Amino acid sequence: MKIYTKTGDKGQTSLYDGTRVDKDSLRVESYGTVDELNSYIGFASKFVEDESIKESLQKIQIRLFFVAGELATVEEGKYKYKIREEDIESLEKIIDDYLPKIKGANAFIVPGSSEASAALHVSRTICRRAERRILTLKRNEEVSDSLLKFVNRLSDVLYTYARYLESELTIMDFEKAYNEKLSQ
């Protein structure tokens, strides 16, 4: 099997259901950003030592294939793996379980005091970008409310895991930093 098909040489690609679209369409941009997120979560997991978090990230990656597949399909009924309410609830449970374990969970921090937390913070920012792309797509085409809600909760999970895995906190004292800046 060849990896190149030459069918995209003029700037178009096929969606899962066979629909041809421009490679820079909102739909392709949306699922492409989800693919980037999935890849980066895989990268981030290589720095995570906590086995339960690693397992959780792998389950999330599988769900992200569902998200990407849903986004890569225009024709209703062609893609059977949909994000369900249970998927969202499982993310909410992670947040509810880990948030109480985080010191200063609502404080602004300088992200990335460990490799694992730094990579998860990057994953979080990619997730937020994916959410913005999907929201823009939803203004023009049909996108499941559950899918958008899942991506929103996922960024909260990535933040929660990143904060939990911080080796040391650099809490940002904005007032102090602002006053120091004024005195310079």
CA distances to 1, 9, 28, 64 from 81, in Å: 26, 30, 18, 11
Q: Where are the domains of the chain?
A: 12-183
Encode the chain (184 residues) as per-residue pLDDT tens digits. 777 777 677 787 777 777 887 788 899 999 999 999 999 999 999 999 999 999 999 999 999 999 999 999 887 777 889 999 999 999 999 999 999 998 766 666 777 789 999 999 999 999 999 999 999 999 999 999 999 999 999 999 999 999 999 866 555 555 565 566 666 6
| CATH 3.40.140.10 fits domain 12-183 | no
Are 127 and 157 in contact by the 8 Å Cβ rule? The answer is no
The pLDDT score that the predictor gives to residue 137 is: 97
The SS3 call for residue 48 is coil
pTM value is 0.87
The pLDDT score that the predictor gives to residue 125 is: 98
Q: Which residues pair with 13 in a beta bridge?
A: 21
75: its two tokens: 């024709």
The pLDDT score that the predictor gives to residue 57 is: 98
